[in-house]
Structure 1
């Protein structure tokens, strides 16, 4: 399965969620406002398996990553295989979940039921009292996307990031409403692909592909 397309007709963003950390199996919120965990042993293996898949595919021409450690480590594995540098883009960082950092959805719902309901309902709602609303995440992700599409027009770019930014890129490509963010599954070290033709609308070609991890 080839993730990139004809570089002469489209710009392709290959979206890679970072590999597992110690917080991932428990589905604990891990944003940019809490700890900055490294990849676990499982996550490191996932990063290497993904790197091998991308190297075999042979279409990626640039690598952009969130500044958070789990993404930098995942991106480094791919970049080493591809012989490419890693471009750090702060706008690709995960959302800040405020005091919800480190909690599961069930724990947040039990401790902050009204705040959680508001967050699920509105992209303007602030999570965890001091966190970052999804409308703010959307603005910076759009900026990162536009920079990449301009800088690497006609090429395939690997974007290593987190659940919220990657779901946002997919949502924007689909023209889907904000509530769709909670209806997408993006597993650790999964690959998704969004294609941006030189003329016409963006399209999502792959979503949550984990075949390289089996």
Structure 2
């Protein structure tokens, strides 16, 4: 009988670049207008692509199906000479009727719903998705990607909530940790998964490639 695999699989996590909604700090989930990258977002995607090409170890590119991620992923895939695969498990939270609104607007119009959402991972925006539901689908996507890419380094292009969720799960942190992490547009993070079940956060919210 074969023994256990002790291969290390690394997920390099790239948040998409800015859209017109990013600077306005509006909810932008998987159920809204699906905005494209802004001019600055395209610049950020290109800088991230340069940094990822310099690593020399990316063997696959997987993206959320939302447009802003596909455009960000395409910039890296082109430099790396790889195709982009889509995984719906990496899409952003569905914020329901809050999509397109600012936090201040949501607090003013839906104060009770907002308070409940911030207090419990099982609470969802009206017509939307709870953080608990997001965590379940992200974990399923993670497990599938680990099985498909064992022992390799894979670029995952996703959004704030799924990336924070992957980091939270890797650290064994509680649900409320999502509200205690900041993630910039086009920031890079990395998580290593070992064959014996251990995980290690290698980097988080690296934006060095966007400076200068």
TM-score relative to the length of structure 1: 0.94
SS at match of 1:21: coil
Question: How big is the shift at 1:200?
Answer: 4.1
Name the Cα RMSD after superposition. Answer: 1.0
Instruction: Output the CA distance in 2 between the equivalents of 1:110 and 1:205.
Output: 39
Pick aligned residue for 1:191 from 188, 191, 203: 188
The residue that corresponds to 2:44 in the other structure is 46
Which aligned runs of 4 or more in structure 1 are off by greater than 4 angstroms?
none
SS at match of 1:46: helix
Alignment of 1:103-182 (within 5 A): 103-127=101-125, 129-182=126-179
Please give the per-residue CA displacement for 1:35-69, whole angstroms capped at 9, x wherever unaligned.
01000000000000000000011111111000000
Question: How big is the shift at 1:110?
Answer: 1.8
The residue that corresponds to 1:75 in the other structure is 73
1:89 to 1:200, Cα distance in 2 relative to 1, 3 A: closer
Moved more, 129-138 or 197-206: 197-206
> Which residues of structure 1 form unaligned runs of 5+?
1-7
Instruction: Output the CA distance in 2 between the equivalents of 1:107 and 1:17.
Output: 25
Question: How big is the shift at 1:27?
Answer: 1.3
Instruction: Output the CA distance in 2 between the equivalents of 1:30 and 1:101.
Output: 6
Instruction: Output the CA distance in 1 between the equivalents of 2:23 and 2:85.
Output: 28
Contact 2:25 2:102 (C-alpha < 8 Å) held by counterparts: yes
Instruction: Output the CA distance in 2 between the equivalents of 1:71 and 1:208.
Output: 17
Determine whether 1:23 maps to 2:35: no
Question: How big is the shift at 1:9?
Answer: 3.9
SS at match of 1:81: helix
